[in-house]
């Protein structure tokens, strides 16, 4: 449900970056989205289409999503394991002293523009 709010943030940042680079129209925005970021890619796409098409600079602009796998590290045995599979408990030593090292990203990686515009 927070995807729409996130889309407004993306639009603001992309417009700022485009203006700073003298770009008139953006053709694609590439996002890095972590597996456990709580963003649902399908919802993000739907909200993006609805909101982006209301902006001249972003009409028809594609949203490309790279999914970043979530990895957790164990502070006791040093193991690194898949967060989605095992959660907060280390599958090697059963410790709960673990922390997420990636998978929480909601980042704008880059924007792509047609060089002729």
Partner 1 sequence: MDKVKVIEIKKSVFADNDEDAARLRSELKRRGVYLLNLMSSPGSGKTTTLIQTLKRLEGRLRVSVMEADIDSDVDAIKIQEATGVPSIQLHTGGMCHLDAEMTRQGLDNVALSDSDLVILENVGNLVCPAEFDTGAVRNAMILSVPEGHDKPLKYPLMFSVCDLVLVNKTDVMPYFDFDMDKCREYVHMRNPKAVIIPICAKTGEGIDAFADWLVQEVKNWKQQ
Binding footprint of partner 1 on the chain (CB under 8 A): 1-2, 4-6, 9-10, 12-14, 17-18, 21, 23, 27, 38, 88, 96, 105-116
- Closest CB to partner 1 among 79 and 108? 108
The Cα 114–Cα 50 span in angstroms is 22
Q: Which is nearer to partner 1, 16 or 53 (CB)?
A: 16
Give me the sign of the Cα torsion angle 83, 86, 87, 89. negative
Residue nearer to partner 1 on the CB measure, 2 or 53? 2
Contact 11, 55 (CB under 8 A): yes
């Amino acid at each position: 449900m927070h995807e729409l709010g996130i889309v407004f943030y993306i639009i603001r940042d992309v417009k700022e970056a485009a203006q700073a680079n003298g770009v008139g129209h953006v053709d694609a925005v590439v996002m890095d989205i972590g597996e456990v970021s709580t963003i649902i890619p399908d919802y993000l796409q739907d909200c993006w289409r609805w909101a982006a098409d209301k902006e001249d600079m972003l009409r028809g602009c594609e949203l490309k999503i790279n999914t970043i796998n979530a990895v957790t590290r164990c502070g006791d045995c040093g193991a690194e394991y898949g967060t989605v599979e095992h959660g907060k408990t280390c599958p090697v030593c059963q410790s709960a002293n673990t922390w997420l090292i990636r998978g929480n990203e909601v980042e704008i990686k880059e924007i792509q523009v047609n060089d002729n515009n």
